[in-house]
Amino acid sequence: MKTYLVTGAAGFIGANYLKYILAKHDDIRVVVLDALTYAGNLGTIAKDIDNERCFFVRGDITNQELVDRLFGEYKFDYIVNFAAESHVDRSIENPQLFLMTNILGTQNLLDAARRAWVTGKDEHGYPTWRKGVRFHQVSTDEVYGSLDENGYFTEETPLCPHSPYSASKTGADMIVMAYFDTYKMPVTITRCSNNYGPYHFPEKLIPLIIKNILEGKKLPVYGDGSNVRDWLYVDDHCKAIDMVVNKGTNGEVYNVGGHNEKTNLEIVKLTIATIHKLMSDQPEYRNVLKKKVKNEDGTLSIDWINDDLISFVKDRLGHDQRYAIDPTRISEALGWTPETMFEEGIVKTIEWYLNNQEWVNEVTSGDYQKYYDEMYLKR
Ligand code: NAD
Ligand code: TDX
């Protein structure tokens, strides 16, 4: 039986990953470590925490004493590090927090693992490691910087981050690789493109657009909307991480992406059209609308759900133009392929939000409105 430490599993991808591995593997035990920042929600994973196979600890990955104690209490085999400050716009406002969590938090976890897992030294002075252990870092394609209209990021693309967020993730990746080179620590890294799916916090493009449409608010598109992102359904990312954790090669980086490039404007228009179609085909979904406009016959109108909601606003500082991933390595080495086509995934995602408005209300009940006003009213 393998024991996992999964950090950041009360957030978007970590929660989906937790559900994925608990469903996939009977013979595992998982400890979740999460600080429950604004982006973490215990309700998302409450049903998964049974105190038999899955345990929850509220705490900060930068806390050395806490992380050492957890390593002593549970004999972890795998560390999967999702915990991070993850929003580019917030990193532009407060870079320091990003460096603390994303770089120093990763270093703290690496050092705790080193203290727990090193068994001795080899003849060259390199540490020897407990068999079957691994530290997996969940990284991002943003570490490679930005592409013009041609080409793809491969694992050999030079690291060239632009935002404080992506620079902090690059710093973390470089520390992870330094521990492989210096200590021969068993590590792997995945670098994934933009994820979408259930439990995505509504500060990120797709869930923010869905939320605003339901409220009848304007849809803020940065700049001219021509920036391109490569979208991947979150379960496909979880599958990739599961494969790398269990079958990856130490010291290797794996790019993960679904060859699904779309401009932001395309994404916003597709979201508008999909919500309109779902509410047209299944009128009961209109009850979810917070903006209530009545037709003459008393039913709720959806005529106003159209592209006129789009509002072009001031661009993000240092906005990366295009991301696109070449996933050849993970496909050839581990047989990974994405399973969910975008056309299917976006409908599944929107339906999930329409059916889970309580979750949206819960995660946006705190400082969300303040954040929204500060971030968008000045644009
Ligand atoms: P998220 O912001 O939704 O969740 C982050 C989680 O980490 C939250 O539960 C939060 O409470 C927790 N956390 C934050 N700081 C912490 C700390 N100091 N100690 C312990 N827990 C802390 O993020 P996400 O979108 O799920 O991203 C997860 C990981 O995947 C991140 O490392 C991110 O860089 C990476 N990633 C995200 C995407 C994407 O499209 N969202 C794409 C590629 C890579
Ligand atoms: O209101 C908005 N309007 C808008 O036009 C928001 C929130 C975003 N955008 C644009 C900016 C980006 O070009 O949409 C695109 C996607 O933005 P985000 O959802 O903020 O994602 P991005 O900046 O691409 O980063 C995401 O993918 C890589 C995650 O947040 C990162 O954690 C991950 O590493």
Q: Which ligand is nearest to the CA of 207?
A: 2
Give me the pLDDT at residue 264, please: 98
Rounded Cα distance between 40 and 44, Å, is: 8
Query: For 263-316, what is each residue's pLDDT tens digit?
Result: 999 999 999 999 999 999 999 999 999 999 999 999 999 999 999 999 999 999
User: Is the shortest distance between the CB of 80 and ligand 1 below 6 Å?
Assistant: no
Domain-wise residue ranges, the chain: 2-201+231-260+322-339
Contact 267, 227 (CB under 8 A): no
* Ligand 2 center to 205 CA (angstroms): 5
Enter the tokens of residue 323.
């991301």
Rounded Cα distance between 202 and 228, Å, is: 19
User: Is the shortest distance between the CB of 84 and ligand 1 below 6 Å?
Assistant: yes
Enter the tokens of residue 171.
């710093």
Which atom of ligand 2 is found nearest the CA of 87?
30
User: Is the shortest distance between the CB of 176 and ligand 1 below 6 Å?
Assistant: no
Rounded Cα distance between 102 and 41, Å, is: 19
Q: Diameter of the chain by CA atoms?
A: 84
Rounded Cα distance between 139 and 256, Å, is: 10
Enter the tokens of residue 310.
């789009």
User: Is the shortest distance between the CB of 208 and ligand 2 below 6 Å?
Assistant: yes
Residues 6+ apart with CB under 8 A from 278: 285, 347, 350, 351, 354
Query: For 107-165, what is each residue's pLDDT tens digit?
Result: 999 999 999 999 999 999 999 999 999 999 999 999 999 999 999 999 999 999 999 99
Rounded Cα distance between 261 and 227, Å, is: 10
Angle in degrees, CA 347, 372, 237, rounded to 5:
40
pLDDT at 379 > cutoff 90: no
Contact 95, 164 (CB under 8 A): yes
Which atom of ligand 2 is found nearest the CA of 222?
5
Nearest CA to ligand 1 atom 34: 86
262 half-sphere exposure, CB direction, 13 A CA radius: 21
- Beta bridge pairs of residue 228: 263, 322
Give me the pLDDT at residue 206, please: 98
Residue range 213-228: mean pLDDT, rounded: 98
Residue carrying the six token digits 């923010």 = 208
Q: Provide φ and ψ at 192, rounded to 5°.
A: -110, 155
Assign 353 to helix, strand or coil.
helix
Characterize the bridge pairing of strands 261-263 and 228-230.
Answer: antiparallel
CATH superfamily of 2-201+231-260+322-339: NAD(P)-binding Rossmann-like Domain (3.40.50.720)
Nearest CA to ligand 1 atom 12: 8
Characterize the bridge pairing of strands 252-256 and 187-192.
Answer: parallel
Enter the tokens of residue 131.
């068999």
Which atom of ligand 1 is found nearest the CA of 9?
9
Nearest CA to ligand 1 atom 15: 84
Contact 171, 99 (CB under 8 A): yes
Rounded Cα distance between 72 and 107, Å, is: 18
* Ligand 2 center to 39 CA (angstroms): 15
Nearest CA to ligand 1 atom 5: 11
Which atom of ligand 2 is found nearest the CA of 229?
24
* Ligand 2 center to 204 CA (angstroms): 6
Residue range 161-186: mean pLDDT, rounded: 98
pLDDT at 377 > cutoff 90: no
pLDDT at 378 > cutoff 90: no
User: Is the shortest distance between the CB of 376 and ligand 2 below 6 Å?
Assistant: no
Q: Which residues are catalytic?
A: 141-142, 165
* Ligand 1 center to 60 CA (angstroms): 13
User: Is the shortest distance between the CB of 82 and ligand 1 below 6 Å?
Assistant: yes
Buried/exposed 325-356: b ≥16 CB within 10 Å, e otherwise: bbbebbbeebebebebebeebbeebbbbbbee
Give me the pLDDT at residue 290, please: 96
- Beta bridge pairs of residue 18: none
Give me the pLDDT at residue 299, please: 95
- Beta bridge pairs of residue 254: 190
Judging by beta carbons within 10 Å of its beta carbon (0-12, 13-18, 19+), is residue 266 exposed, middle or buried?
A: middle
Rounded Cα distance between 314 and 165, Å, is: 20
User: Is the shortest distance between the CB of 197 and ligand 1 below 6 Å?
Assistant: no
User: Is the shortest distance between the CB of 202 and ligand 1 below 6 Å?
Assistant: no
Rounded Cα distance between 159 and 174, Å, is: 10
Mutate which of 140, 194, 212, 256 for ligand 2? The one with the most ligand atoms within 8 Å of its CB, which is 194
Residue carrying the six token digits 């991933």 = 325
User: Is the shortest distance between the CB of 60 and ligand 1 below 6 Å?
Assistant: yes
Q: Model-level pTM greater than 0.95?
A: yes
